Structure 1
């Protein structure tokens, strides 16, 4: 016993030494990297190399520009010819429609005949050209060393035809709406619009405001702000009158709680006020955290515009897998998780003079952990200013946590909002949203609509339904601009929600709960609230995490209603009953820290050297069972030793901004010689829900295209196959369109992959490729996800190995009809049933290979063929005797 304990102790010491050495190498590498960047700029040789490159680029440019001019001229003439022909044809049609033959003079008749001849000649010439393209012989090109053959695609063939057709239909319906139709069958008599379905609402109460209903015009709308200069825009915000008092309060107190309604200007203006007040001198930065990456990106872009600087220079943002900052950055917006990662390299946040924890009321897991970390830092860094910004009345709770820190309140400017409830519950709230939007659009005065939905899938479904019904109504209703906003949407698409609404039109924004507080959209008069949101919930009893749709809290419902009263008196239509609001909704949302898996958070805290998690200063402590389960999971993954200390493997895992299981999978891939394949799978999993799309008019084609990617082994290998095929086409956009794959999601997966490869090199991992060994790839996945194992039981259902919970393979899985004996899944999603997403077939013996400490042979025995033993029963009398 003594020898074994001595050996285990020496092993722990050895691992601890290797972990510390690894951490030192990371720090040294970071320092060297920083020094190299600085010296390379002043290095004479580097300057000469740059000058040579510039000269070569100029020479190449001189050669290419004449060719580009010729090509540009050719394309311009081609386009101009098409436009002129279309213009001539339209001119003839209009002329014939407006004037009869008898009304024309002889000269006008000749002009008309001349135009018709020209049009006929032009069309015949185009037909002859098309015929010549088909009939003539084309000299084959040498494409061995050139990609030109593949890149020169006719512009008309770049997009699927159905998109072109949709665009033409929209343009035609818009023209008919504005100018009327020429054909009798298209002309419609004007009647009052009667919608097929309507929802009965009851006005139950009015949310009071501090602005008069009759003073709507005093509020500055987004359209007016566009015409104003930046200074006038900033002066119009509610926070502006308090600028001097706020700066004085920040100078006086180290920690300050700032309470102000959404839209008061806290997020965009406070960092600028601090910069103007001199808090960025001595090359110190002002940091501002956001709970969502969409908010971090959009707010940074807005502040950069207000300061008249390029995004990424003085103002930048940093989110997971994307860093848009530079050495010149003085105002930095970031997600809470990004700041966690910065703590690993700079535990004292020495580069910051002010840290703002924004949207603190949302109480995300990362935000709650930040509270404890920054509170600790302020005790030994008196020069660091800490601002906690909140949009609700939780300010007193934050003040109590931060040693009775003072509260600075910014009064909002809000108009009254009428609250409407449905008479009865709605069975399908997505369809009810569509009906309500059209009902408001047809019956209510102008003003934009904000609709709250739970996620991307619901938003896209609602958008499709709405577009379809608007198209069918045609010119009966005025223009309706439909704009979605969710986290996976590209930033240029997200920015459209802030653009002014066209005249005599209405904008409807379909958003997730990000629009509750993180984003402020002007000119919203109507809000539609179905009363649901998506939440991650962790069951500590079964050890399972699932994303489920749940009712919102009363606090969230009031936040949503408040969005309608920013620019004028508004209306909020709640798609649930008043009784449900009073009796079924909780008062406040349960903080994330009390309902989700803490594995990632515990790993980060351990990497920061915080080992006593029981006594860590949490605003609301997590459940004891959840904390213990997270420690057990990290121990099983090899991230912690039996003393609860971080191992070298755990330290390497902490460097990846991933779930611990995915980080373990990535590191284990080095052992199985398939790290290049696993990093592609990890990147695809990060954007998994947004890869394939199914247009409503081509569902069968989309499903067939998806099935063409299916390979033996399961969904992880399908994702790898998709990425490989896309990479083989040189990351083609056209290939994505043809295969019903979202190009932007693939592009993001490529960016994630590149960043993960950089992190792998940082933690001293080799990039090895072995695509033919699919067994090794599946073993590497099993090394990380051995917690997520299910076994086929009688009746065709699956049961999880450890907790015997019934689960099903998701219908979109490549294994949905296969039903393998043993499967591994990436995540559980609860809709109508508990579904396993991203499922891969495994062998039970692999579990004993990758996790012998977690699985015992008897747990993996085949129990389906076992029968009850044959013995002679005993009577009650025999048993009693």
Structure 2
């Protein structure tokens, strides 16, 4: 007491919280499988030693490794400098000599000769060396593949050569070089991989030219960091930096006082028009702009009404509100709605919705939510309905009152977080104003990634009103209140393009768009949707340009268009500087670009659409004046342009650093820490970001504790995905389940293909669609995989556009995932993990692709440490750092999606296991939510989670002998061993099981290390036995947990088509998924007799229908005429027994059909089956689960299609039900049907059929006879 009193403050550590119990149940069958393996192949002493954390032989690079640092693929050839031959005359000589840069050739050569670094033309160097007889060897880096190819082809053409002689190019997985090549254009990545072999690779290089330095991509900045060190070691090396819009002062400071050469380009005058000019020119006026005009007069009254609401709530204390309702403001007494958000609503619905929102906000009446949810769910009221007098939505008032369960339900129903009330407040603003901190956290954590944008244009106009005229101010204000700045206004672009094409007769048009999604959307409008263009398609050529296109397709965009045909190029920022299209006269600049940014705290990567810099805007403008005066249309105001950044933020400051840290260890001296090397960059990343990246690489075993690369780390540096996804892919190679993981990894690397629509009613349908793709597997990753597989099937059938629209998928995203997938598989082949034939060929690495439990094991290996544990006692999900974790509304594991009974706050007791993995976590102030989750079993986490090497102390036996425990002990864990993967993952399990799991884990980790170190070594019997045991154990535990094993997940993807093929697909695709009509060939229509078919004969005798071919069910009965009349060539012959293939998305649907005697098919098939049934035909339906490799039986259709639907089907898009009678339920493998061809499907094998495909009668009878043969044999 007294002066000796003191106060102790402690910061609560995340590890101080009580550790939940983490049981690891294991079935006796699994223990037996593990023991059987260990008896045959016990863990050796060497394996135990290698798995100790303090040894370097287990994971670090060893002498046995195949190549070590020299194995990096995609390196430049190691030639010597020679004197280049003189250039040959070419058709481009006159053009070259007319360029301004040609006049300063001597000056440029002199400066390069006199300086080590020149801040600025490779051809000049070749000519100079040729003229003076001096040897040279030049590398020129480009930030993009297309630029390297295009520039190489142009320079070769100017020298009168073909590519691959003096001038060549080298990009990943593609090169055109020879021993004679002295000037090589390459990507920054290829040049970096060359440097990974050592600085000595540049001793024979005379000049390095780094082009497009101003783009400040991560690899270029990284390359400059390395080259500055190399210049000190190789005195003969010259470095030339080339840029169109460079921050000169920064690089002068970085490289010292190097000379600068300013070269003026030959540009014609380019007229600039900004947004206000474009709106005036086109008279653009969308429906929202008209609506805003009408609402302007009402808005002030709405704001006044909402202000009364807020004052009424603020002036009443909590106790008063509980005792008596807040008095209703006067403006609510007249019951006359000022405006309907949904014009179709009948008056009583308007009155009910307004009443509910009023009672919730003013009276804290939570019961009003019951009526509100009923109206939304069953009366088709928009979840974003806004009160007719205040403009406030249900989410806003719930946030203002802090009603969290109801907020979660509204978000799950698709409520718009960014919706604004009449006073401009969003739901977050309501929560902030009324100090509802938990509601604030919930809303912040639910904001979709990338939607936190900078200052919007409407606020710019408001704050800088004095800088623009009243007419422009009113025009911009009207436009920005009707359109969201975060998106690109394709409607305005279409109007502008129509204006250009109708007022001018020639000149190519270049449109800059932020990403491939926008490119595809605009292309589809041009080719199909907008009749102003689609009805005159012969007058236009539409090309797309983006960095991941095939190079052959990109070249076509640069060729001149035929006479009287206008070329329209839709491009990302790749056309700013990397390539030049000479005939462009008009440029439309959306002012947006896609940027990948990384949050170092949440470890979440975001692909965001952001405003470009002033430098980029000037570059885009310059594309219009290459051959004649042009016009550039900027889709942003002059005010926005004046507030843009001068230059883009360097990618090094906003990208995930794990990949860069791996490459740092390959480039920097072995004794140099990663942080020290990256600190030398022109603008280095923060030390905190570097430290987090290095720690993550250690966690996934890419680095050891000394920051040295492991064998795994070397391979991860070679893969074009983030390291944790690379590890996932390599685990899939060893586990032999590659195809599904390739698809999932590329989807996670790019973006979620599911689109969340803006309309509240459609949001619910979109969420339900995602749920159906999961096939009841409790896995968002399954939804990604199923969606891709279904899209590929739709693509092969020619209706992918309709499929994507129906299933809320982005066709552009799917295209990109397919391209990335092809590139990643190509890289796996290049580094030896997938071989052309024999062991480890594409079939071998997919032997377990159909096993979902094995696929999830690879997911766990790649996702660790992204794990969430569900506490059995509290049913509360938590992670290592977060005590409470919520599922993001987009996740299938969100409870409102697992249940159908409306809003609920009950704990997640429906989850079948205690563990799940997630892709990313977003945090509010006190709340974390996880996205893209999958439930996994404890044994999967125990074997595939954690670091590869664990100390022997990781397995702790019970502290006392088994017989020493008291009989009256109330502890359930005293007799359990503890198995620790890290400070948080500590499992409790029986001692016998603990030892078995620990040794099986050692076996797996040893096998993985061995395969990573030497992927070309043949598999041993022990290796194969380990994989078989893992498959057995994982499958048994999944089954024990009640997790479903879906079918068809291992189906091989179809090969990628070229851009031309995709264009043809798009031109032939329709708005509805109608399959192409069948054509027939003349075949005999005879059918073998069987008990089943004779039974059908009695029920359905042959009819005298209009069919031109009748069939006798008795093979001994001759036909009446002795021959069959030929049907018209344009129509198939329809016998009285007709066979249709029914494709099912899951085995579960087949089981439901067999149990209930019903079936449903797609609406496009319903009409065909109904017509056939009403013609008194016997309709045989032959069933096959997609990807199963079997026909699952056949049934007879016994009723017409009813008006009832079945809610149990695991696939959206199925129509109403009809009755079927199952005849055979045995499976027939496709291997037995290889000889049966369907002439009504281009003579394809019967198993290669789309859903609803009809079989030619003889093919149908042959197929059915296989079941009869099986029955006879039995």
Q: TM-score, normalised by structure 1?
A: 0.62
Alignment of 1:249-398 (within 5 A): 249-258=111-120, 266=121, 269=123, 272-273=126-127, 276=130, 281=135, 285-312=137-164, 314-350=166-202, 351-398=204-251
Q: Distance in 2 between matches of 1:276 and 1:797?
A: 74
* TM-aligned CA deviation for residue 554 of structure 1: 2.1
Q: Closer, same or farther in 2 for the Cα pair 1:467/1:790, shift >3 Å?
A: farther
Give the structure 2 partner of residue 238 of structure 1.
100
Q: Closer, same or farther in 2 for the Cα pair 1:720/1:302, shift >3 Å?
A: farther
Give the structure 1 partner of residue 496 of structure 2.
436
Indicate if the aligned counterparts of 1:736 and 1:743 stay in contact, CA closer than 8 A.
no
Indicate if the aligned counterparts of 2:593 and 2:609 stay in contact, CA closer than 8 A.
yes
> Residue 615 of structure 1 is aligned with which of 671, 676, 686?
676
Q: Distance in 2 between matches of 1:805 and 1:565?
A: 55
Q: Distance in 2 between matches of 1:526 and 1:473?
A: 17
Secondary structure in 2 matching 1:329: coil
* TM-aligned CA deviation for residue 306 of structure 1: 3.5
Q: Closer, same or farther in 2 for the Cα pair 1:447/1:854, shift >3 Å?
A: farther
Q: Distance in 1 between matches of 2:930 and 2:132?
A: 53
Q: Closer, same or farther in 2 for the Cα pair 1:569/1:251, shift >3 Å?
A: same
* TM-aligned CA deviation for residue 720 of structure 1: 7.1
> Deviation digits for residues 93-126 of structure 1, max 9, x if unmatched?
xxxxxxxxxxxxxxxxxxxxxxxxxxxxxxxxxx
1:842 has 2:842 as partner: no
> Deviation digits for residues 683-741 of structure 1, max 9, x if unmatched?
85599779999xxxxxx9xx999989979575766777899999xxxx99994747779
Q: Closer, same or farther in 2 for the Cα pair 1:371/1:806, shift >3 Å?
A: farther
Give the structure 2 partner of residue 856 of structure 1.
984
Q: Closer, same or farther in 2 for the Cα pair 1:10/1:315, shift >3 Å?
A: same
Indicate if the aligned counterparts of 2:673 and 2:707 stay in contact, CA closer than 8 A.
no
Give the structure 2 partner of residue 777 of structure 1.
855
Alignment of 1:565-576 (within 5 A): 565-576=625-636
Give the structure 1 partner of residue 736 of structure 2.
674
Q: Distance in 1 between matches of 2:175 and 2:931?
A: 30
Q: Could you say which structure has the higher helix fraction?
A: 1
Give the structure 2 partner of residue 593 of structure 1.
652
Q: Distance in 1 between matches of 2:565 and 2:116?
A: 48
Alignment of 1:146-545 (within 5 A): 229-258=91-120, 266=121, 269=123, 272-273=126-127, 276=130, 281=135, 285-312=137-164, 314-350=166-202, 351-423=204-276, 424=476, 425=479, 427=483, 429-444=489-504, 446-468=506-528, 471-472=531-532, 479-545=539-605
Q: Closer, same or farther in 2 for the Cα pair 1:854/1:359, shift >3 Å?
A: farther
Q: Closer, same or farther in 2 for the Cα pair 1:454/1:801, shift >3 Å?
A: farther
Q: Distance in 2 between matches of 1:439 and 1:799?
A: 57
Q: Distance in 2 between matches of 1:519 and 1:472?
A: 30
Alignment of 1:54-203 (within 5 A): none
Indicate if the aligned counterparts of 2:780 and 2:892 stay in contact, CA closer than 8 A.
no
> Deviation digits for residues 529-556 of structure 1, max 9, x if unmatched?
2221111111112121111111122222
Number of matched residues?
A: 633
Secondary structure in 1 matching 2:140: strand
Alignment of 1:681-692 (within 5 A): 681=743, 685=747
Indicate if the aligned counterparts of 2:891 and 2:931 stay in contact, CA closer than 8 A.
no
Q: Distance in 1 between matches of 2:867 and 2:153?
A: 44
Secondary structure in 2 matching 1:538: strand
Q: Distance in 2 between matches of 1:567 and 1:829?
A: 50
* TM-aligned CA deviation for residue 19 of structure 1: 1.6
> Deviation digits for residues 654-700 of structure 1, max 9, x if unmatched?
34343211222233346x6326447744785599779999xxxxxx9
> Residue 605 of structure 1 is aligned with which of 658, 664, 686?
664
* TM-aligned CA deviation for residue 296 of structure 1: 2.0
> Deviation digits for residues 56-76 of structure 1, max 9, x if unmatched?
xxxxxxxxxxxxxxxxxxxxx
Secondary structure in 2 matching 1:434: helix
Give the structure 1 partner of residue 63 of structure 2.
21
Q: Bigger radius of gyration, 1 or 2? A: 2
Q: Distance in 1 between matches of 2:105 and 2:723?
A: 44
Q: Distance in 1 between matches of 2:594 and 2:744?
A: 23
* TM-aligned CA deviation for residue 495 of structure 1: 1.7
* TM-aligned CA deviation for residue 235 of structure 1: 2.2
Indicate if the aligned counterparts of 1:415 and 1:566 stay in contact, CA closer than 8 A.
yes
Q: Closer, same or farther in 2 for the Cα pair 1:477/1:612, shift >3 Å?
A: closer
Give the structure 1 partner of residue 1014 of structure 2.
none
> Deviation digits for residues 184-208 of structure 1, max 9, x if unmatched?
xxxxxxxxxxxxxxxxxxxxxxxxx
Q: Which moves more between the two structures, 846-855 or 422-431?
A: 846-855
Indicate if the aligned counterparts of 1:321 and 1:755 stay in contact, CA closer than 8 A.
yes
Q: Closer, same or farther in 2 for the Cα pair 1:285/1:799, shift >3 Å?
A: farther
Secondary structure in 2 matching 1:316: strand
Indicate if the aligned counterparts of 1:783 and 1:851 stay in contact, CA closer than 8 A.
yes
Give the structure 2 partner of residue 634 of structure 1.
697
Q: Distance in 1 between matches of 2:600 and 2:515?
A: 25
Q: Closer, same or farther in 2 for the Cα pair 1:287/1:818, shift >3 Å?
A: farther
Q: Distance in 2 between matches of 1:23 and 1:842?
A: 33
> Deviation digits for residues 737-767 of structure 1, max 9, x if unmatched?
477798997577445414313314599x967
Q: TM-score, normalised by structure 2?
A: 0.44
Indicate if the aligned counterparts of 1:714 and 1:815 stay in contact, CA closer than 8 A.
no
Give the structure 2 partner of residue 551 of structure 1.
611
Q: Closer, same or farther in 2 for the Cα pair 1:294/1:10, shift >3 Å?
A: same
> Deviation digits for residues 770-807 of structure 1, max 9, x if unmatched?
334432221122212225557899xx999987567877
- Over the aligned positions, Cα root-mean-square deviation in angstroms equals 4.9
Q: Distance in 2 between matches of 1:312 and 1:550?
A: 39
* TM-aligned CA deviation for residue 332 of structure 1: 2.0
Q: Distance in 2 between matches of 1:235 and 1:684?
A: 47
Point out where structure 2 has 5 or more consecutive residues left out of the alignment: 1-48, 78-88, 277-475, 756-764, 802-810, 900-909, 947-980, 989-1274
Q: Distance in 2 between matches of 1:573 and 1:719?
A: 38
Indicate if the aligned counterparts of 1:800 and 1:806 stay in contact, CA closer than 8 A.
no
Indicate if the aligned counterparts of 2:603 and 2:920 stay in contact, CA closer than 8 A.
no
Indicate if the aligned counterparts of 1:824 and 1:840 stay in contact, CA closer than 8 A.
yes
Q: Distance in 2 between matches of 1:460 and 1:652?
A: 34
Q: Closer, same or farther in 2 for the Cα pair 1:297/1:323, shift >3 Å?
A: same
